[in-house]
Chains A and B, each alone.
Chain A
Amino acid sequence: GAVVSQHPSRVICKSGTSVKIECRSLDFQATTMFWYRQFPKQSLMLMATSNEGSKATYEQGVEKDKFLINHASLTLSTLTVTSAHPEDSSFYICSASPGLANEQFFGPGTRLTVL
């Protein structure tokens, strides 16, 4: 149990385009989903927290107008990188929490390359 999927696993896009990444909890309802960004050989940095049906809470320094997060249902959250630039190239990972303390289940990640 506790499987989280992400789609796509890898995406290459041109500078200036927008990219949408989906995160789904497959066998549980996720009251909260988290989005992280990880640059090569670095740690995971929390970008934002989203709760179903409400606006996402962004970490300091993360542009909410650039990284649009929608948590439309208890099993789906999407991250849209708008007007992507090469510096947005990174590994984006989501995680989902069923609401119990101390549990987060991670998706397999999405490798974004912006040319």
Chain B
Amino acid sequence: GQSLEQPSEVTAVEGAIVQINCTYQTSGFYGLSWYQQHDGGAPTFLSYNALDGLEETGRFSSFLSRSDSYGYLLLQELQMKDSASYFCAGFRAGNMLTFGGGTRLMVKP
């Protein structure tokens, strides 16, 4: 089977740094993506890791370790607008995505 585990909720304050972890049990994932979803909205793409290591895109970075079946999303200089749900998702054959359960991030003043 294929499953991705994430913490259900994380709370942090404005300006802080937060890390959202994702561990997965699967065969056949060839990359890990991260998506942001605000309430009532569609998922928006944040980052993708095909190889081990860190990918940085502005305030967001994502990390993957295939040997540990583990990845994380790092959000820096948190802003109130970053309050949303964040999903890790594994890409598998056929360009299909399997989503984790999602982490609800609440940013407080």
Most buried by A among B43, B101, B102: B43
Q: Identify which of A11-19, A68-76, A78-86, A95-103 touches chain B.
A: A95-103
Closest B residue to A111 by beta carbon equals B40
> Does more than half of chain B's interface fall in helix, strand or loop, or is it mixed?
strand
Instruction: Check A108 against B41 for contact (C-beta < 8 Å).
Output: yes
CB distance from A105 to the nearest CB of B (A): 8
Size class of A's contact patch? 20 to 34
- Interface membership of B105, Cβ < 8 A: no
A46 and B42 within 8 A (CB)? no
Interface residues of A in 7-49 (CB under 8 A from B): 32, 34, 41-46, 49
> Are A103 and B99 interface neighbours, CB within 8 A?
no
| Any A CB within 8 A of the CB of B60 | no
Residues of A within 8 A of B (CB): 32, 34, 41-46, 49, 93, 95, 97, 99, 101-109, 111
Name B's A-contacting residues (CB within 8 A).
30-31, 33, 35, 40-45, 48, 50, 87, 91, 94-102, 104
